[in-house]
Amino acid sequence: MIKLSAKSQIMNHDETLTVSRDGAVTYIEGLPVKAAGTTFSIRANVQALDSKELLMVPELDRYRENYWVFTEEEIRVNDIVTRNSVKFQVQQLEEWGSYRGAVRMVRIDVGPNTN
């Protein structure tokens, strides 16, 4: 992990986001039983993808809202992040400097405009 030499002056507008994580599935007498999920808050910096990064996103996701989330908290793929009452799914994790990672999240389509 690369340590920053000083406190970042660019990313100082952190937000508080809510993360929901599904519980693990265990098997009892051969039947799957899903444990209760967890919900917790994180402090993160949220940035929109630029045009070059958007070209690297799978084609069907290009038309949905995509954001990078930079945080020191642990986030996993398939976690659900709530930002401004809108739900997003974590789809990609990358190591990024002194942050735990850069996380790409995509808006979950619901309602009449769902394909």
What the chain holds in terms of domains, given with CATH numbers, is 15-107 (2.40.10.270)
Asked whether the predicted pLDDT for residue 33 surpasses 60, the reply is yes
Whole-angstrom distance, CA of residue 68 vs CA of residue 92? 9
What average pLDDT does range 22-50 have in this prediction? 89
Is the pLDDT higher at 99 or at 46? 46
Instruction: Please list the residues that pair with 94 across neighbouring strands.
Output: 102
Q: How far is CA 105 from CA 30, 49, 75, 101, 108, in A?
A: 34, 10, 11, 12, 9
What average pLDDT does range 104-109 have in this prediction? 89
Quick: pLDDT tens for 87-104.
Answer: 999 998 887 766 667 889
Which run of H or of E encompasses 51? helix 51-55
Quick: pLDDT tens for 59-95.
Answer: 878 888 899 998 888 888 999 999 988 999 999 888 7
**Could you report how far apart the first and last alpha carbons of the chain are, in Å?**
40
